[in-house]
Amino acid sequence: MKVTIFGSGYVGLVTGTCLAEVGNDVLCVDVDERKINMLNNGESPIYEPGLDDLIARNKAEGRLRFTTDIAEGVGHGLFQFIAVGTPPDEDGSADLQYVLSVARSIGEHMDDYTVVIDKSTVPVGTADRVKSAINEELEKRALTSSLEFDVVSNPEFLKEGAAIDDFMKPERIIVGTDNPRTTELIRALYSPFNRSHDRLIAMDIRSAELTKYASNAMLATKISFMNELANLAERLDADIEKVRIGMGSDPRIGYHFIYPGCGYGGSCFPKDVQALERTAREVDYDARLLNAVEAVNYRQKQVLVDKIHNHFEGKLKGLTFAVWGLAFKPNTDDMREAPSRTLMEALWKAGASVQAYDPEAMGEARRLYSERPDLELVDDPMSALKGADALVVVTEWPKFRSPDFDEIKRNLNTPLIFDGRNLYDPAQMKDAGIAYYAIGRGLK
């Protein structure tokens, strides 16, 4: 089948590449010439495990192509995916200018029946706006009655770092449409990924749009809930890790997404919770729980900073901190809304400097903070510790889980760890003579 993907960012590239992998003829369109040139030269503009090889193979076998030519894109696919960015406005709502501009281009150039698929995370009601934008362009061409199209909401549920697997083996394929014919077309497109049992859930468009926000808001809620409990556990001399294990064994609660930490980051949770709050305001609903989820996360990103301030009684000027982990989570180079940024920016503001290491995000850190004399990016975890006054663990990369604590002690000025991900055992740290602060356990 012929597929066009507008937007060669994270979602668009993974979607296009995986659809090509199962035999479709895919054309990816992006207005960013640099990105398209990179892709045409066989380089991926993003880091995602497994993606480079998949792009290379499908490109070589002629099923995956890249262009900046929008008209060519519209002329290509029966299926036209809109997978462009929806950055937050100043007020937290999703900015739809890129989505609507693709819709207008489709209306301007289409010359056959087209299924337009909203893949980007967009507020409830966007499909209607996409429909109107296409219709306006068709009207200009006097084609409204002769050219048909359908708009579908098909939100993505890809986790960075596991996106290929999530696409190839989806837990659910949400299809929002008001036309049963379209559901069947989408079912055919997704059939290679929908084999062992039917995972396609069809519903009306608005419910599909809301399902995406609801899922991310629920996950963010679980995290903020656990972070709140961790802060409470700490004050009650309880150990949140024991509490977590005790809670998770109830299948109604489950073990997933109840890890306390130094706050959630990334391109989805912060943005989507804010956008849903904004949507609630627009319909005059006071979404108290959502507001609290966001407020708790905002505070949680400060928790490590507060612990450091308390330990050093506010005297951070001239100190050096080793930071392990810059990406917002392991297996990605993404630093969007990463807790590491809140931490480092607070340390710099207080006059401290940072020696940081991340297995993948060093390039991104260099791009974001190229001008900072108080940031040194080093090539391995132990180099970050040399001459530092404390180690701060921010991202739970596997290689940080079982370090050589003797070597850590040898390298640090003082044996002191602030752990934002609860990777180590407080009793073991005590035995090793390391002062250990964590989240909801360890020193206070």
Q: Which residues are catalytic?
A: 268
Residues 6+ apart with CB under 8 A from 317: 350, 351, 352
| Chosen residue from 261, 325, 403, 426 binding ligand UDX by CB under 6 A | 261
Q: Does 177 bind ligand UDX (CB under 6 A)?
A: no
Q: Does 13 bind ligand UDX (CB under 6 A)?
A: no
Q: Does 266 bind ligand UDX (CB under 6 A)?
A: yes
Instruction: Pick the piece of the chain touching ligand UDX (CB under 6 A) from 85-93, 150-158, 168-176, 343-351.
Output: 150-158
Q: Listing from the earlier edge strand, what are the strands of the sheet with 25-29? A: 64-67, 25-29, 2-6, 79-82, 114-118, 149-153, 173-176, 200-203
| Chosen residue from 258, 296, 388, 391 binding ligand UDX by CB under 6 A | 258
Query: Can you tell me whether residue 117 is helix, strand or coil?
Result: strand
Token pair belonging to 168: 């190839």
Residue among 366, 421, 369, 422 nearest 395 (CA): 421
Known binder of ligand: residue 439? no
Name the residue with tokens 């917002």. Answer: 328
Instruction: Pick the piece of the chain touching ligand UDX (CB under 6 A) from 91-99, 157-165, 234-242, 384-392.
Output: 157-165
Per-residue x/- marks for ligand UDX, 276-315, CB under 6 A? ----------------------------------------
- Alpha-carbon distance of 444 to 438, in angstroms, equals 8
- Alpha-carbon distance of 316 to 353, in angstroms, equals 9
Token pair belonging to 84: 């462009």
Angle, helices 288-300 vs 269-282, to 10°: value is 150
| Chosen residue from 17, 154, 216, 274 binding ligand UDX by CB under 6 A | 216
Q: Are 20 and 189 a contacting pair, CB within 8 Å?
A: no
Q: Does 441 bind ligand UDX (CB under 6 A)?
A: no
Q: Would strands 353-357 and 2-6 be described as parallel, antiparallel, or unpaired?
A: unpaired
Known binder of ligand: residue 336? yes
CB of 16 to ligand UDX, least distance (A): 17
| Chosen residue from 47, 79, 225, 259 binding ligand UDX by CB under 6 A | 259
Per-residue x/- marks for ligand UDX, 223-242, CB under 6 A? x-------------------
Known binder of ligand: residue 36? no
150 vs 396 by CB, closer to ligand UDX:
396
Per-residue x/- marks for ligand UDX, 313-352, CB under 6 A? ---------------xx-----------------------
- Alpha-carbon distance of 339 to 262, in angstroms, equals 6
Which residues contribute to the site for ligand UDX (CB under 6 A)? 156-160, 216, 219, 223, 257-259, 261, 264-266, 268-269, 328-329
